[in-house]
Amino acid sequence: MSATKSVSVDFEIFGKVQGVFFRKYTQKRALNLGLGGFVMNTSKGTVVGRIEGEQKKVKDMKQWLEKTGSPKSRIDRAVFSEEKPMTQASASGNKEQKVALSKR
């Protein structure tokens, strides 16, 4: 029996993603998938964050971020970077107005 591979990936979402409850829906979707990380608005009108968890669930979340989002959002582009294996959850840092995706 093989262990489940956990990964983390950073993301930035471009389009109409602020003022449309994008962070709230992102948090809800991540919680439903059992993922961790954070999500926050940027001063340039995008949403950035990190997804952490089981590789298959992270893949599902990436697809949701790229294609679905919140009901009133318009996603023009999703950029994913820094995908790497995880040894432990690391949703920490000092960024302001960060919304945790799950409670760990």
Residues whose CB is less than 8 angstroms from the CB of residue 25 and which lie 6 or more positions away in sequence, other chains included: 69, 70, 71, 73
Domain architecture of the chain: domains with CATH: 6-86 (3.30.70.100)
pLDDT along the chain (104 residues), means of 10: 80 96 94 94 96 94 96 96 74 47 49
Determine the pLDDT at residue 49.
96
Measured over the CA atoms of residue 104, residue 66, residue 80 and residue 48, the dihedral's sign is: negative
Q: What is the pLDDT of residue 91?
A: 44
Residue of 29, 32, 41, 104 with catalytic role? 41
pLDDT on residue 86: 81
What's the pTM? 0.81
Q: Answer yes or no: 23 catalytic.
A: yes
pLDDT confidence of residue 1: 47
| Cα–Cα dist 62/44, whole Å | 21
